[in-house]
A and B are shown apart, each in its own frame.
Chain A
């Protein structure tokens, strides 16, 4: 379920993984692994902003620009998670099978990895926004950041 959801999500934006011999690694480990991690990072950042910084403790870090900083940070973390996990999984797979990639394949691999990193940055932003709206009602001082709705 998770596998097909994340495969559909990423492939809708990226197309099939390239080189195609790595398709099983992407679909079985990279897409669901990175997708889930990104979701929990986004959720964690939203909770940090709305609950920790603006309920458990009271800080002056509650404005929309602060929220935007958290959004940016989540995006960066999403990019890092994507690159690191994907590169490590691809690396492990290549070492395990002993597959030799041709020069052209190495460049398509790089291109796909960068594409995946960029896509996951967007996914992280999306998840953070969704999580923000899910948890903002738990906050005390940031209930109306970035917008009043739905409170």
Chain B
């Protein structure tokens, strides 16, 4: 009997020790372990998925007509070079850098007869930094587009980059009103379903002769800022890729994207961030990110708020900036869901670990959900981001450039040129299709 009571004792002692060691409350112990968790999470930087699949050829065209000469003057020792020279030289260098990653590059001068003339990286880069020696008298912009597209369609997986002032100056100045149609016709030589056009605008100091598009007297400028444009043409996914990887230095510049298609962004409901009410986040039907919300109780008295995060890294910067309550559309379905506010990760409340994958957030409030919104039949609300109209185009455009020095950085009939591009895509305005449109499933638990 003595041996059994000893055994009892050791059982109890053992149990007590376990019980004592177990008594920690999660909320209290968390501060220390949280620091450890964040340091563990940070080295997991996003893998730059180098999707070279698809992009096989990059063609770069630089307009070296007489009208471009002012951008690429010869510099004196110590001169910083014009903005145009710095930007385009760096762009060419980046394109050349891609050739070691499975993409071939073609370099072309845009002149006349023939309109595009093949050259080498070295020669093109040197021409831009040293100045144009034998400028072409002038290139008709629609012809240039036509030739570029001709080269582009020869090889699948080609993206063309055009650097030019894009001044429409037909030989017969009475025909300038045709610009819209001419641009449209030129672009229509390619299948619009397989073409996307991105236009980046930039300005650079201009020293030399400026030839107005309306064929009035040439003007000599001494450092006035004039616009030039970089156009990216090609299949939509490849244009998006090139914009992402090579156009970084024009990110902040005015831009417009025609017929662009973007992958749906990664998004998800963020637990424990600016939320309210009784709900929890639920993964989508295929698992992965939480794209649904289950409410355990929801009524007008107990409204809920939850936050949806988006990873918009793959959208153009202008589109990222447009992420706002006015541009973001919420299709509430059979609920009373409303957008409360939006913010970018950098400018909002500190983002918890659950939201680190996202760059932008929106807070949504709900108080009404049909009682039939069960697990099998969730109510779906949709969040879509509409693109903003490029208001910059009208400021950059002029219908009379005969006194450009007094007007500042403007391009002859730019809005008409861009309208022609839009028309070639079936009248699609630049506010065209949405940048993304994603569902969020709401259920009652």
**Is the beta-carbon distance between B352 and A100 smaller than 8 angstroms?**
yes
**Is the beta-carbon distance between B27 and A97 smaller than 8 angstroms?**
no
B171 beta carbon closer than 8 Å to chain A: no
**Is the beta-carbon distance between A95 and B34 smaller than 8 angstroms?**
yes
Once A20-B278, A96-B353, A99-B272 are accepted as A-B contacts, the answer to whether A73 and B27 lie under 8 Å apart by CB is: no
**Is the beta-carbon distance between A69 and B278 smaller than 8 angstroms?**
no
Residue of A nearest to B278 (CB): A20
**Is the beta-carbon distance between A99 and B8 smaller than 8 angstroms?**
no
Among A22, A77, A113, the residue within 8 A (CB) of B280 is A22
**Is the beta-carbon distance between A84 and B22 smaller than 8 angstroms?**
yes
- Residues 109-132 of A contacting B (Cβ, < 8 Å): 109-110, 113
Once A98-B352, A98-B353 are accepted as A-B contacts, the answer to whether A113 and B34 lie under 8 Å apart by CB is: no
B275 beta carbon closer than 8 Å to chain A: yes
Residue of A nearest to B33 (CB): A95
Contacts of A91 in B (CB 8 A): 26, 29-30, 33
A134 beta carbon closer than 8 Å to chain B: no
**Is the beta-carbon distance between B352 and A80 smaller than 8 angstroms?**
no
Contacts of A80 in B (CB 8 A): 15, 18-19, 22
- Residues 159-217 of B contacting A (Cβ, < 8 Å): none
Map CB proximity to B onto A85-117 as digits: 1 under 8 Å, 0 otherwise: 001001100111111110001100110010000
**Is the beta-carbon distance between A16 and B37 smaller than 8 angstroms?**
no
**Is the beta-carbon distance between A96 and B19 smaller than 8 angstroms?**
no
**Is the beta-carbon distance between B19 and A95 smaller than 8 angstroms?**
no
Shortest distance between the CB of A19 and any CB in chain B (Å): 8
Map CB proximity to A onto B6-32 as digits: 1 under 8 Å, 0 otherwise: 011001000100110011111111100
- Which of A24, A76, A97, A98 has its CB near the most chain B CB atoms (within 10 A)? A98
**Is the beta-carbon distance between B280 and A101 smaller than 8 angstroms?**
no
CA A32 – CA B279 in complex, angstroms? Answer: 21
**Is the beta-carbon distance between B26 and A94 smaller than 8 angstroms?**
yes
Shortest distance between the CB of A80 and any CB in chain B (Å): 5
CA A22 – CA B271 in complex, angstroms? Answer: 9
B120 beta carbon closer than 8 Å to chain A: no
Contacts of B11 in A (CB 8 A): 69, 73
CA A61 – CA B353 in complex, angstroms? Answer: 54
Contacts of A76 in B (CB 8 A): 15, 19
- Residues 226-275 of B contacting A (Cβ, < 8 Å): 271-273, 275
Contacts of A59 in B (CB 8 A): 4
Count, chain B residues at interface, CB 8 A: 38
**Is the beta-carbon distance between B19 and A100 smaller than 8 angstroms?**
no
- Which of B4, B24, B25, B33 has its CB near the most chain A CB atoms (within 10 A)? B25
Contacts of B352 in A (CB 8 A): 97-100
Contacts of A60 in B (CB 8 A): 1, 4
CA A84 – CA B15 in complex, angstroms? Answer: 13
Shortest distance between the CB of A141 and any CB in chain B (Å): 14
B445 beta carbon closer than 8 Å to chain A: yes
**Is the beta-carbon distance between B279 and A95 smaller than 8 angstroms?**
no
Once A94-B30, A95-B33, A101-B27 are accepted as A-B contacts, the answer to whether A24 and B15 lie under 8 Å apart by CB is: no
A34 beta carbon closer than 8 Å to chain B: no
CA A106 – CA B30 in complex, angstroms? Answer: 11
Map CB proximity to B onto A2-31 as digits: 1 under 8 Å, 0 otherwise: 000000000000001000111110000000
**Is the beta-carbon distance between A90 and B26 smaller than 8 angstroms?**
yes
| 8 pairs of A and B residues whose beta carbons are closest in the complex | A99-B272, A98-B352, A98-B353, A97-B354, A106-B27, A95-B37, A23-B280, A91-B26
Interface of A toward B, CB cutoff 8 Å? 16, 20-24, 59-61, 66, 69, 73, 76-77, 79-80, 83-84, 87, 90-91, 94-101, 105-106, 109-110, 113
Can you list 8 pairs linking A and B with CB atoms under 8 Å apart? A20-B280, A21-B271, A23-B445, A73-B11, A80-B18, A87-B22, A96-B37, A98-B37
